[in-house]
A and B are shown apart, each in its own frame.
Chain A
Amino acid sequence: MKKHLSILLMLTLAPLASYGGPAEKKGMEIAKKADAADNGWKDLSSSMVMTLKDQHNRVVTRAIRNKTMEVPGDGDKSLIVYDAPPDLKGTAFLSFTHVNKPDDQWLYLKSLKRVKRISSNNKSGPFMGSEFSYEDISSPELDKYEYKYIKDEKVNGVDSYKVEQIPTYKYSGYEKIITWYNKSTYRPEKQVFYDRKGSKLKTLKFIQYKKYLGKFYRPDKMYMVNHLSGKTTTLIYKNYKFRNNYTDSDFDVNALKRAR
């Protein structure tokens, strides 16, 4: 009987716990608006140069090209081709982000001509040795987090909503992420990442947003600092090109094999 009672209690209280109070509601509303504001761009190609700097100011660079396609009702599909360092030139990475199941990922090893389906539990692992992890570069789907509005705050002189995000997907390296959403565009201006122990791990700044197709904002630059190691990574994006009429066949294993 006691057991039944507790189940009954859980069932009645569960909705309260997840939707919570007004802060949770407002957090979710902001996230929904942010998600809606960046809906309908269809597909995008870009190239990116990554500059990795360690605590002794030693610098290495990476270069990749990226194609992404929106999938209605699910996460994005993306195909990344590595241009530098030269030993990784021609290596390609295909990923399907999903909202409520693990992502699908394939890696193409050019010298072996081998496609490997890989585990997507590498979310917290560094992308190409940088301070960005795989979860930082994958598409920010609405249902992958729980939200809580904290307050209005100015960040870099921009009026923003400060919102706490708690990852609900498996294998995340974060306890929480604090995001500052620009009040007028709903784009993130800044994010602070807290690791599983609750320590402030990294800060990400989005620099120089530009407007494309009259409504979609993309940053020219992203700057990540790791507070524990002192290492930084700067991403510089170039050649943003929307609406390339990509289809599913641009994001399958055949496309991965010929990507370069």
Chain B
Amino acid sequence: MKYKFTYKHFLISIVTSLMCISQSVVAKPEISGEIGVEGRFFKDSPLDSRQQGNNLSLYFKPEFFWKSKEKPWTVTFSPFIRVDESDSKRTHGDIRELVFHHAGKKWEYKVGITKVYWGVTESQHLVDIINQTDAIESIDGEEKLGQPMINLIFKQKWGTTELFLLPYFRKRTFTGVQGRLRPSPPIDASQTRYESSAEENNLDFAIRWSRTVGIWDIGLSHFSGTSRIPRFTFGADINGQAVLLPYYDQIDQTGLDLQATAGSWLWKLEVISRNSQFESYNALTAGFEYTKTGIFKSKKDLGYLVEFLYDDRNDPRVTPFERDVFLGLRLAFNDVQSTEVLTGVIIDDDSDERSYFLELSRRLGKSFKLSVEARIISNPEATSLLYPLRRDNYIQLQLIRYF
């Protein structure tokens, strides 16, 4: 009998070992977390009559944290659940973190489910590859699914070297048929296919070296395994309706991230080179962030962000950022409520396509935060990946309670 190590097995083994550890170390966890309500309001009626209009949604993300009194151990458990009014796929849950972390002087290790972030740029995150995007959460790709891993961290004079063993692949989440902000036809994740015969049990590897030298922060990384970004083929769902079917390649990706911090200037670069049996390509994001502090004799800081986005496949059907420029402004009020505004536009060099966004956040009282987000896509080309979103310009209000 062939034994198949599945995600469920992985989870069960982590949970049991963590429970043993946390029982023996300390009994009482530190509890924190957030609960949020979100309303999305769309300007236009949907492209597809099956899609819904304005939408209300709720999420809950508690965090339990155990810390050993004597040993350098911690355990973190953070489940996540969202309930969505109109999209049954967006009603979903995830284990964002369930991780045991041991931190010695010379080396550290983590076992379990957690999140890792690599990179320096703001407009897109090319180098960041460990965690799958929880794409159904937000269109900007900033939300991630928890990734099962064994992570070893070696701390040396010449830099930090990290090794990652990634035993289980997380499928990208996609907006369901009824949801907005999705491609047309919709994606049917139940018919996901893989290049690897092990499918989601393919063992992925990654290594990263990083170091700070003076004004420079340098990171070099390599990933070998299942691509976090699917390619799509046309197909049909069980009702015979047209759908897109995700397919995950085996890839090798080498990445470099670099930042120079010089006075008011942050110079940023991310470059990747990716190879699979289907394609080889290079992509980069390069730019700067310049911050002027105390503008107009106030306490406010104003940051100017400029980034150039390039992908040498030069194909708008596979990336919206084949040759684009991102211009942004970040206004930090530095007030008691931590009011912040970030606004910007991504300009496509070959067409009139423009993608605008505005993000505003402000603390209310002691433990609430209000955030406003708006996105507008104007003049997308018919071949562009953003074309199916042309009627999905929206404004979103979110109220979060932290505890």
List residues of A whose CB falls within 8 A of some B CB: 52, 54, 60, 85-90, 102, 104, 112-126, 129, 170-171, 173, 247, 249, 252-254, 258, 260
> A121-B264, A129-B337, A249-B105 given as contacts; is B363 within 8 A of A85 (CB)?
yes
> Which of A121, A247, A249 is B293 in contact with, Cβ under 8 Å?
A121
**A86 x B263 contact (CB < 8 A):** no
| Residues of the A chain whose Cβ atoms lie less than 8 Å from the Cβ of B103 | 254, 258
| Residues of the B chain whose Cβ atoms lie less than 8 Å from the Cβ of A253 | 160, 210, 212
13 contacts between A and B (CB under 8 A): A86-B366, A87-B34, A88-B338, A104-B212, A113-B115, A114-B117, A117-B217, A119-B266, A121-B264, A121-B291, A122-B291, A173-B294, A249-B105
- B299 CB to nearest A CB, Å: 6
Judge if B170 is at the interface, Cβ distance under 8 Å: no
**A86 x B367 contact (CB < 8 A):** yes
Judge if B381 is at the interface, Cβ distance under 8 Å: no
| Residues of the A chain whose Cβ atoms lie less than 8 Å from the Cβ of B217 | 117
> A85-B363, A85-B366, A87-B400 given as contacts; is B266 within 8 A of A117 (CB)?
yes
**B294 x A252 contact (CB < 8 A):** no
> Which of B114, B261, B263, B402 is A85 in contact with, Cβ under 8 Å?
B402
Question: Which residues 270-302 of B sit at the A interface, judged by CB distance below 8 A?
Answer: 291, 293-294, 299, 301
| Residues of the A chain whose Cβ atoms lie less than 8 Å from the Cβ of B335 | 129
B98-112 vs A, Cβ < 8 Å mask (1 yes, 0 no): 000101011010000
> Which of A116, A119, A124 is B263 in contact with, Cβ under 8 Å?
A119
Q: How many angstroms from the CA of A116 to the CA of B336 in the assembled complex? A: 22
> Which of B106, B266, B334, B402 is A89 in contact with, Cβ under 8 Å?
B402
**A129 x B338 contact (CB < 8 A):** yes
Q: How many angstroms from the CA of A122 to the CA of B334 in the assembled complex? A: 11
Judge if B369 is at the interface, Cβ distance under 8 Å: yes
- A105 CB to nearest B CB, Å: 8
Task: Name A260's closest neighbour in chain B (CB-CB).
Answer: B65
> Which of B155, B261, B366 is A252 in contact with, Cβ under 8 Å?
B155
**A124 x B294 contact (CB < 8 A):** yes
Q: How many angstroms from the CA of A116 to the CA of B125 in the assembled complex? A: 14
| Residues of the B chain whose Cβ atoms lie less than 8 Å from the Cβ of A102 | 263
**A119 x B264 contact (CB < 8 A):** yes
Task: Name A115's closest neighbour in chain B (CB-CB).
Answer: B117
Q: How many angstroms from the CA of A87 to the CA of B367 in the assembled complex? A: 7
List residues of B whose CB falls within 8 A of some A CB: 32, 34, 65, 74, 101, 103, 105-106, 108, 114-117, 120, 142, 153, 155, 160, 210, 212, 217, 259, 261, 263-266, 291, 293-294, 299, 301, 334-338, 363, 366-367, 369, 400, 402-403
- B335 CB to nearest A CB, Å: 6
**A87 x B261 contact (CB < 8 A):** no
Q: How many angstroms from the CA of A249 to the CA of B155 in the assembled complex? A: 8
**B155 x A117 contact (CB < 8 A):** no
Q: How many angstroms from the CA of A253 to the CA of B293 in the assembled complex? A: 25
**B402 x A86 contact (CB < 8 A):** yes
**A254 x B160 contact (CB < 8 A):** yes
| Residues of the B chain whose Cβ atoms lie less than 8 Å from the Cβ of A260 | 65
- Given A85-B402, A254-B160, A258-B101, list of 14 further CB < 8 A pairs? A60-B366, A87-B338, A87-B369, A89-B32, A104-B212, A113-B114, A119-B264, A119-B266, A121-B293, A122-B291, A125-B301, A129-B335, A173-B294, A252-B212
| Residues of the A chain whose Cβ atoms lie less than 8 Å from the Cβ of B261 | 104, 117-120
- B70 CB to nearest A CB, Å: 15
Task: Name B67's closest neighbour in chain A (CB-CB).
Answer: A260
**A125 x B299 contact (CB < 8 A):** yes
- A11 CB to nearest B CB, Å: 28
Give the 6 A-B CB pairs with smallest separation, nearest first: A86-B402, A129-B336, A114-B117, A87-B402, A113-B117, A113-B115
**A119 x B402 contact (CB < 8 A):** no
Q: How many angstroms from the CA of A194 to the CA of B266 in the assembled complex? A: 30
Q: How many angstroms from the CA of A114 to the CA of B120 in the assembled complex? A: 9
Task: Name B299's closest neighbour in chain A (CB-CB).
Answer: A126
Q: How many angstroms from the CA of A52 to the CA of B34 in the assembled complex? A: 24
Q: How many angstroms from the CA of A260 to the CA of B75 in the assembled complex? A: 12
Task: Name A89's closest neighbour in chain B (CB-CB).
Answer: B32
- B401 CB to nearest A CB, Å: 9
Q: How many angstroms from the CA of A178 to the CA of B384 in the assembled complex? A: 62
Q: How many angstroms from the CA of A171 to the CA of B402 in the assembled complex? A: 35
**A121 x B263 contact (CB < 8 A):** yes
- A59 CB to nearest B CB, Å: 10
| Residues of the B chain whose Cβ atoms lie less than 8 Å from the Cβ of A114 | 117
Q: How many angstroms from the CA of A112 to the CA of B291 in the assembled complex? A: 22
Q: How many angstroms from the CA of A208 to the CA of B153 in the assembled complex? A: 43
> A112-B117, A247-B105 given as contacts; is B263 within 8 A of A258 (CB)?
no
Task: Name A87's closest neighbour in chain B (CB-CB).
Answer: B402
Task: Name B403's closest neighbour in chain A (CB-CB).
Answer: A86
Task: Name B122's closest neighbour in chain A (CB-CB).
Answer: A116
Q: How many angstroms from the CA of A252 to the CA of B400 in the assembled complex? A: 31
Q: How many angstroms from the CA of A85 to the CA of B174 in the assembled complex? A: 34
**A113 x B116 contact (CB < 8 A):** yes
| Residues of the B chain whose Cβ atoms lie less than 8 Å from the Cβ of A258 | 74, 101, 103, 108
| Residues of the B chain whose Cβ atoms lie less than 8 Å from the Cβ of A125 | 293-294, 299, 301, 334
| Residues of the A chain whose Cβ atoms lie less than 8 Å from the Cβ of B210 | 253
**A126 x B334 contact (CB < 8 A):** yes
Task: Name A250's closest neighbour in chain B (CB-CB).
Answer: B105
**B105 x A124 contact (CB < 8 A):** no
Q: How many angstroms from the CA of A260 to the CA of B210 in the assembled complex? A: 22
Q: How many angstroms from the CA of A238 to the CA of B73 in the assembled complex? A: 25
Task: Name A255's closest neighbour in chain B (CB-CB).
Answer: B103
Task: Name A123's closest neighbour in chain B (CB-CB).
Answer: B293
> Which of A85, A113, A126 is B367 in contact with, Cβ under 8 Å?
A85
| Residues of the B chain whose Cβ atoms lie less than 8 Å from the Cβ of A247 | 105
| Residues of the A chain whose Cβ atoms lie less than 8 Å from the Cβ of B160 | 252-254
- A92 CB to nearest B CB, Å: 14
Q: How many angstroms from the CA of A121 to the CA of B74 in the assembled complex? A: 35
Task: Name A127's closest neighbour in chain B (CB-CB).
Answer: B334
